[in-house]
Structure 1
Amino acid sequence: MQRLRRVAAAAVVAALAATGVTACGGDNGEDGSGAKVLKLWHYEGANSAMGIAWDKAIETFKAEHPGVEVRFERKAFEQIQQNAGMIINSSEGPDVMEYNKGNATAGLLSSQGLLTDLTDEATKRGWDKELSPSLQSTARYDDKGVMGSGKWYGVPNYGEYVMVYYNKDLFTKYGVKVPTTLAEMTAAMDTFVSKGVPPLGMAGAEYPAGQLFYQLALSKADRSFVDNYQLYKNPVDFHADPLKYGADTFAEWVRKGYVSKDSASLKAEDMGTTFISGKAPMIVSGSWWYGRFKSEIKFNWDTFLFPGNTLNAGSSGNIWVVPASSKAKNLAYDFIDITMRPEIQALIGNNGGVPVAGDPAKISDSKDRKLIENFNAISAQDGLAFYPDWPVPGYYDVLVSGFQSLINQSKSPDQVLDAIAKPYQDGVAEIKRG
């Protein structure tokens, strides 16, 4: 999930001071006393699937590198996101770090020479064999920082994708079957509307609306569209399908009452808590909700893939990167490699995450197994289409504004397409100019 932030350069000074990390000198992670050190940062919660798995990876690393001190720090997402460029270009930075994937983040740092080229390690350690082409897209960047080709600058360990979460109790109560086509899904939503139940939870003030638009567009898209839209292979016509279909259908869903006009001002958290409370039959959103739903929901619920789509919004999760300034690169490579091992990948899966190299047979819970099997099916057919706000910096806010206007019906689909087309085209032109 792309979450771009901007911060004044002055804030970096405070962020660096807040880390409290002593700079390391020398090669191979050696500090002033001669002891080997690996400095590692990530921003996953201690009880999250990735946090649990990476704690185990640290434990394994320590056992296999008895002379190495691991200096791990858990950072806030925003702290790394906002200040990464300046932090990793200083002596205060880590040797290996979780970082956000995409052109405007990892791609930008790679183009500035701030990240280590991992291509040889990816080949030597087999990461290039374990990751599907669409997962590799977020690991590889060209000399302009555009993802999808070029050198490896990161390694993803988990995945994420957009699906439909549904309330099984409400489906049973109203005699609705799980849809397998888009036509069946609209019929299901017609049933709920006829009973006075808004069928689809939504949030217009944040990412969910743009992701629904993208899922609808992807129902009429192929891989060439994704390559054009995300990787700038060819120009994109916003007033032709599949984008026109996505906007027109979204507007139709609002008119038919599938999406409430009141949701224009709601945030993703509002949508999630509405589903948790049992009030929404369905939401279209990502696997990042799965662990929370599993722990908080009291009714019967499940998931299904967006019906009829072969392409779905999704990607690898965030990636491990090795700053060019790292003094312990070989140790960093060893740690990344441990996170790709079957036992670590299984830990991600057994705690509600989506491992990129996991074996579903090693996952004990049937619902967790389904989450991973669906991801593997999408990934195997090169069906991960990334996210609608990824192509250019600042595009997230453009999409939020556009689809709020579609939900509250202050703009027509054509007007919204006009509003989101120009920033995209201007941003792509800027990136191509380098």
Structure 2
Amino acid sequence: MRSPRTMISIGAALVSLALVLAGCGGQDDDAAQSGTGTFKLWHYESANGAMGKAWDKAIEVFKAEHPGVTVEFERKAFEQIQQNASMILASDQAPDLMEYNKGNATAGLLSSKGLLTDLSDEVTGRGWDKLLSPSLQTTARYDEKGVMGSGSWFGVPNYGEYVMVYYNKDLFQQHGVAVPKTLDELTKAMDTFVAKKITPLGMAGAEYPAGQLYYQLALSKADRSFVDNYQLYKGPVSFDADPLKYGAETFRQWVDKGYVSQRSASLKAEDMGTAFIAGKTPMIVSGSWWYGRFSSEIKKFQWGTFLFPGNKLNAGSSGNLWVVPEQSKNKKLAYDFIDITMRPEIQTILGNNGGVPVNADLAKVTDLKNKELIANFAAITAADGLAFYPDWPVPGYYDVLVAGGQSLINGSKNPQQVLTELGKAYEQGVSEIENG
């Protein structure tokens, strides 16, 4: 779900691209074959997050196993890579390995343009496919049109993620609120906070969180056939009827009831997260990627999580993908690094720092909260409950979704107007993909 914040001008894009490419030089194909040279790695995970910690260790292992190779790791901003990926990967400045968002609109689009390496032989040869459940493989494989779920492997995930509710246990206890088990109980809990003049649900309209709430609400009225139609184009999708109508209308009702602040329309995900860390917010609805950071930074109150009450379907998927640019000059080194991140020792670091591993030694995951996080994900996948993310279906849809979420929060457009715009962009995007 995490995608670029806003559309940027061509001039700004070129400036940003120049910044991204600063300091990048060429590499030597022959050096790669001899086990020497330079290996360029980009990702955008924070150093104190689960993935950042695990991949830092993977870099250490890689260096030890490839003593003649110089590792050039750069931590990029998510939006920096997302906004400029096509330009970067079409140039000779591409890294050897890069973390990238999954879905039709992102990895699928790049694969359809021939910018990503087909990893199918490496996946089967190294046994990575045996470590990933079918639902996690969905986001790694794309057909010739860039539609996920079939075709060749163009990426490899090494963790899972899903959307849940984070809550401040101290605030719940202080105001006599129990953990809700149904959507009705959730609204009653939020009514209790509103009566105490507390905005119960932290939000960010300038980035992905608003879209996640809209989608979670829609999924409360959805089934697997809706997800297949919406994400995989297996059937028509109506933006004038439930479940999408319910999602947009209920979101706006929650704003009207004071569950979500109108001031959050301009906030970014970081603003929402830091407010929760500061103990100012009873709840947020967002992804498991926050888990490790909250574990590290929340010191003054007790917190926990629960699945979105009553939902059988939840936004979630495999984690972001390792992709190897077609222009990579050291592909063998990229494959070796991916392989290291799939090892149990690295996966267990993920599990012990708030990540959702795919191949950890669970006996060595010691924190009870982390065990619960992993168990909830296992329960979702076992029930075929991963519904991917609302911005995935077509390229450029993230920006349309963010604009719609902001409009629902600030009231500049009513739910039907928002749905009409979402529907128009969706149908146009699907038509372009299907008709080539």
TM-score (norm. length: structure 1): 0.91
**CA contact 1:167–1:301 (8 Å) conserved in 2:** yes
Residues paired across the two proteins, number: 431
1:168-247 aligned within 5 A: 168-247=169-248
Equivalent residues of 1:38, 1:331 under 8 A apart: yes
Is the 1:12–1:86 contact (alpha carbons within 8 Å) kept by the matching residues of 2? no
Paired residues of 1:261 and 1:408 also in contact (CA < 8 A): yes
SS of residue paired to 1:190: helix
Alignment of 1:308-327 (within 5 A): 308-327=310-329
Tell me how far 1:417 sits from its aligned partner.
1.6
User: Identity of aligned pairs, percent?
Assistant: 73
Structure 1 stretch 196-205 or stretch 164-173: which is displaced more?
196-205
User: Does 1:121 pair with 2:122?
Assistant: yes
The amino acid of 2:401's aligned partner reads L
Find the aligned partners of 1:352 and 1:120 in 2 and give their Cα distance: 31
* Larger displacement relative to structure 2 (225-234 or 104-113): 104-113
Whole-Å separation in 2 of the counterparts to 1:213 and 1:57: 36
Q: What amino acid does structure 1 have at the position aligned with 2:208?
A: Y
Q: Aligned runs of 1:3-402 on 2, under 5 Å?
A: 3-4=3-4, 8=10, 10-11=14-15, 14-15=18-19, 18-26=22-30, 28-30=32-34, 35=36, 37-297=38-298, 298-402=300-404
For structure 2, list consecutive stretches of 5 or more residues without a partner in the other structure: none
**Root mean square deviation, CA, Å:** 2.4
Quick one: distance in 1 between partners of 2:410 and 2:62?
Answer: 53
Counterpart contact for 1:157–1:355, Cα < 8 Å:
yes
5+ residue gaps, structure 1, are none
SS of the residue corresponding to residue 26 of structure 1 reads helix
> 339-348 or 39-48, which moves further after superposition?
39-48
Change (3 A) 1:86 1:200: closer
Aligned partner of 1:414 in structure 2 is 416
> How far apart in 1 are the matches of 2:98 and 2:331?
12
**Residue 108 and residue 45 in structure 1: after superposition, are their counterparts in 2 closer, same or farther (change >3 A)?**
same
Kept in 2: contact 1:181–1:307 (CA 8 A): yes
| TM-score for the superposition, normalised by structure 2 | 0.90
Is the contact made by 2:110 and 2:116 (CA closer than 8 Å) also made in structure 1? yes
Letter of the aligned partner of 2:311 in structure 1? N
1:219-256 per-position Cα deviation (integer Å, ceiling 9, x unaligned): 11112211111121211011121112212222332233
Partner secondary structure for residue 350 of structure 2: helix
Tell me, in whole angstroms, the C-alpha distance in 2 between the residues paired with 1:375 and 1:368: 11
1:132-169 CA distance string (max 9 Å, x none): 22221221111011112110011011222211111111
TM-superposed deviation, 1:12: 7.5
Per-residue CA distance 1:53-101 (angstroms, 9 max, x = gap):
1222222233334454444343343443333334334443332222222
Are the structure 2 counterparts of residues 81 and 413 from structure 1 closer, same or farther at C-alpha, using a change threshold of 3 Å? closer
Deviates more, 1:166-175 or 1:242-251: 242-251
Which string of whole-angstrom CA distances, capped at 9 and with x for unpartnered residues, describes residues 364-415 of structure 1? 2111222222222222322221211121222222222223332333433223
Counterpart of 2:177, as a letter, is V
Which one is further off, 64-73 or 289-298?
64-73
Q: Describe the shift of the 1:277–1:43 C-alpha distance in structure 2 as closer, same or farther (beyond 3 A).
A: closer
Residues 132 and 382 of structure 1 are in contact (CA less than 8 Å); yes or no, is this contact kept in structure 2?
no
- Measure, in 1, the Cα distance between the counterparts of 2:180 and 2:44: 37
Note closer, same or farther for the CA distance 1:89–1:409 as it changes in structure 2 (3 Å cut).
Answer: closer
CA distance in 1, matches of 2:257, 2:82: 39
User: 2-side partners of 1:269 and 1:233: how far apart?
Assistant: 35
